[in-house]
Structure 1
Amino acid sequence: MNALQLTSEHASDFVVITVTGELDLATRPCLSAFAHDVIDACPGTVVVDLSGVTFIDACGLSALIAIRRHARERGTPLLLAGAPPVVLKLLKLTNLDASFTVVSRSAAPDPAPGRVETGRRIQAGLPLADR
């Protein structure tokens, strides 16, 4: 089992959403709702840190697509940072790698100490395999 954990850290001009765990059918609604709320509240760039993602399937990918669409509708720049090989492979296989701005974790903005407001921390339910 590797439930989804989501956190957000806000700075004045950007926010980092950290995603840890599995992105699949069971966790898609949680990720989508969380990211939409953050995008709606953020005045600047949204960075989705995927370095903690251990699994992604088509439903997880559709969540990322929905997040990208929502960000575009709001005029919010969106970066995917630290995507592990499992995510990069899926993006490439589906020809979506050019549709996202993917950067290394070290190239993404990082909240400086003293400027960070930690947002909500949530944990999604069990993956489908564990139900």
Structure 2
Amino acid sequence: MHRCTDRVTPASVRAEGPVAFLRVLQQLRDGVVHVRVVGEVDLATAPTLDRCLHAARSHAPDPVVLDLTGVRFLGTPGLDVLAEHHHGCAARGSVLRVVAAHRPVLHPVRLSGLDRLLHLFPDLHRATTAPHTPGQPDA
């Protein structure tokens, strides 16, 4: 398992003012890239998530499973990163599968309308075992 930064090495990100913290772990297992996010995804931390997802997409056409169950806050910059990488994965013949089952993530995703675009799953097992055609909505 790797902690992700620009070169997929250990890292943490802190914002100025009230401390915002984000930890991103990446692992390739059984042909699926797992990216686990813990903390807050906001203006200060979204660039780290973006870099980590770019690194994860380099394994295309392997699916990328983005586990957001450890996210306490998802702001607009994080929503932008999700949309960008959804399209980026599809363009490479892959798919971004997002694991989200709690209000701090689902509420902003639904308010933004991204729930109609993203491939959302309630748990990691379903996300890793789901059959899927890249670029098509999941059933």
Shorter-chain-normalised TM-score: which range?
Answer: 0.7 to 0.9
Q: Secondary structure at the match of 2:116?
A: coil
% of aligned pairs identical?
30
Instruction: Give the equivalent residue in structure 2 for 1:33.
Output: 51
Q: Secondary structure at the match of 2:43?
A: coil
1:87-106 aligned at under 5 Å gives the runs 87-105=105-123, 106=125
Among candidates 37, 61, 65, match of residue 19 of structure 1: 37
The alpha-carbon deviation at position 63 of structure 1 amounts to: 1.2
Q: Is residue 55 from structure 1 mapped to residue 73 from structure 2 by the alignment?
A: yes
Q: Which has the higher contact order (CA 8 A, sep 6+)?
A: 1
Runs of 4+ in 1 over 6 A off after TM superposition: none
The alpha-carbon deviation at position 42 of structure 1 amounts to: 4.2
Paired residues in the alignment total 110
Q: Which amino acid aligns with 1:22?
A: E
Asked if structure 2 preserves the Cα contact closer than 8 Å seen for 1:15 and 1:42, the reply is: no
Unaligned runs of 5+ in 2: 1-18, 130-139
The alpha-carbon deviation at position 2 of structure 1 amounts to: 4.3
CA deviation vs aligned residue, 1:9-63 (integer Å, no higher than 9, x gap):
2113111100000001101111001111111124411100000000011111111
Q: Is residue 80 from structure 1 mapped to residue 91 from structure 2 by the alignment?
A: no
CA root-mean-square deviation: 1.6
Unaligned runs of 5+ in 1: 111-131
The alpha-carbon deviation at position 69 of structure 1 amounts to: 1.8
CA deviation vs aligned residue, 1:80-125 (integer Å, no higher than 9, x gap):
0134212111111111111011001142228xxxxxxxxxxxxxxx
